[in-house]
Structure 1
């Protein structure tokens, strides 16, 4: 692997590099915090197997970061290479450097107050993106969040041979929900500019007030459905170890609704509970398919980790199903209330 410190020197970050250290627990890209005598940055080695056109990712980021310049929430700005480009290509990889924004990431929500702050921030992001025409952005990940695509991937893996005993219960779980799984994409919801990966650890919080300051990891900025963002945010923040925190989910959804209501359609409002169910199911299918493919997409620490991840996501899906009726009722109550 090319030395990250040597790569950093090829970007226009002022000062002499004094420290480069791994940052975060991302499953796709390699990430390092960079400190120079005058500045800080975040260096990333983009996964070429996932993002074969990294220049398009950077073009999207420039468009969106400029569009959000006056918004209450922001994205990190790209720092140019010394040759003026967005990327440095070395060692068969594309590297980028982003500004280092202040703040901390959270591994878990502390309470419903945290959940509401997170939901409010996602609503602010969506409000800020509402008037950005999605056709201006590249679709950097065709098929991303499309259940037909992921189910087809799984089917191709299963066609290679008989199903192992340990996999069989997961396949049965998926087959019982196969028809429902694609309903969100078939609902005729408007295409928007989405973050695409609004996990809890992709938000920077003020360490004292725990107010969200910025959304990071902008690789999946692209046209899509806002409800993909909503469902994935709830999944990551309110579902741990296969358990669903109903109260925190309601706090998150209510705060998002109060911010985003002016720019939402009636159809988007109606399909929110389905998105909460769909996103953990989708991720479970993706983890299982990647396990069967030999762990090509998500980073793993041991063989079978993606299988364990799939089991946890399906357990979360089942937990949401058990509270599905109550979720529908509470969401109707929340979304009937005034917005901002």
Structure 2
């Protein structure tokens, strides 16, 4: 792979392969990402997973449109974060498609950037939540029709529950005996589907990030302030409650999302409270009262949804999420469903944050 990148991919983006340094970057489940530098410049190079993103050119064009919009906001002094911009090929294109050898694109590398994988302090949650809210506010006047859907029904919990039901019924890999109780619990949460449907009929659709994990917000390592929102691959029309919910889901546990120490996995109320205040503050003047009320449902929905997705992938043979060992997706599912259970236990107190 490295030799192919050096000899074939890098020249397309104007880098000199003889002097290039290449290292893997990040912990993404889907795409392969590399940090590449030569004597003149440094870029982030990415091979897009075309099994997941079946129309990868839409991923690239969406990101370019969002980058242009945010750049304009930045010039108007309405957006204070840095903007990650696409890097064109020497031919002036935003990607290069080698067919069987991959679909490749490049984006800016931001000096002094730093990512974290786990929120350990309330200050980190506050900084990141405000940044994600600021990102959403900056996109609030961009018509959602300007962005193409890249994955159909990506954040559709009823569809995800049906996929789990089908995987349970098929049990194609004879794995159900290892997770039957977890699957039954997940599939019992049908009341949430009714609540979500009621809200979705009334909420405005906005351009959403759809992958608001803590490692998709770059900190400036010099002072740990917010620097940029990255990974725009799943930006699509949607609802703020899901962006917020995925963010809080990713922030709130003191353990990584694949931790097997389930007694230590829970939703930290102080993190949820801090993230809520910062996110809503960043969206002041944009978010509607009903959208604020919906945020609590978003936390529950996104936590349950990811648990369902991990469990479905496990039952179907691990074809979507990259795994490091045979039970990895099962462990991830147990982890997320444990957070969901913690949210349910704390609901009477936490729901007051969203009045």
TM-score (norm 2): 0.89
- 2:177 counterpart (165, 174, 180): 165
User: How many angstroms apart in 2 are the aligned matches of 1:16 and 1:131?
Assistant: 45
Tell me how far 1:10 sits from its aligned partner.
Answer: 1.1
* Corresponding position of 2:252: 238
**8 Å contact from structure 2 (residues 216, 229) kept in 1:** yes
How many residue pairs are counted as aligned between the two chains? 332
Residue 324 of structure 1 aligns with which residue?
A: 347
Partner residue in 2 for 1:289: 312
The Cα of 1:185 is off from its aligned counterpart by: 4.3
Q: Deviations over 1:49-95 (max 9, x none)?
A: 10011111111111111111111124411111122211112234211
1:107-147 deviations in Å (ceiling 9; x for gaps):
22232122111111111101100100000110111101111
Q: Secondary structure at the match of 2:13?
A: coil
1:105 maps to 2:115: yes
Q: Which runs of 5+ in 1 are unaligned?
A: 333-340
- Quote the offset at 1:230 in angstroms: 0.4
- Work out the CA distance in 2 between the residues paired with 1:110 and 1:209: 16
What is the SS of the residue equivalent to 1:262? coil
Q: Does 1:3 align with 2:4?
A: yes
Residue of structure 2 in register with 1:336 after alignment:
none
CA distance in 2: counterparts of 1:122 and 1:247, whole angstroms: 18
Note the 1:20-35 alignment, pairs <5 A.
20-35=22-37
Paired residue secondary structure (1:261): coil
Say if 1:11 and 1:81, in contact at 8 Å, map to a contact too.
Answer: yes
Structure 1 CA distance for aligned equivalents of residues 225 and 313 of structure 2: 35
Alignment of 1:81-120 (within 5 A): 81-90=89-98, 91-102=100-111, 103-120=113-130
Structure with a larger share of its residues in helix: 2
Match of residue 335 from structure 1: none
Equivalent in 216, 219, 239 of residue 205 of structure 1: 219
* Equivalence map 1:1-340=2 (5 Å): 1=1, 3-6=4-7, 7-13=9-15, 17-69=19-71, 70=74, 71-90=79-98, 91-102=100-111, 103-161=113-171, 164-181=176-193, 183-187=195-199, 188=201, 189-241=203-255, 242-332=265-355
Cα distance in 2 between the residues matched to 1:181 and 1:12: 50
1:66–1:16 Cα change, 3 Å: farther
Q: TM-score, normalised by structure 1?
A: 0.93
Question: Aligned with 1:9: secondary structure?
Answer: helix
Could you tell which deviates more after superposition, 238-247 or 217-226?
238-247
- The question of whether the paired residues in 2 share the 8 Å contact of 1:194 and 1:224 is answered with yes
- Deviations along 1:255-296, one digit per CA (max 9) or x if unpaired, are 111110211122111111111111111000000111111111
Alpha carbons of 1:221 and 1:114: their partners in 2 closer, same or farther (altered >3 Å)? same
Contact 1:16 1:38 survives alignment (8 Å): no
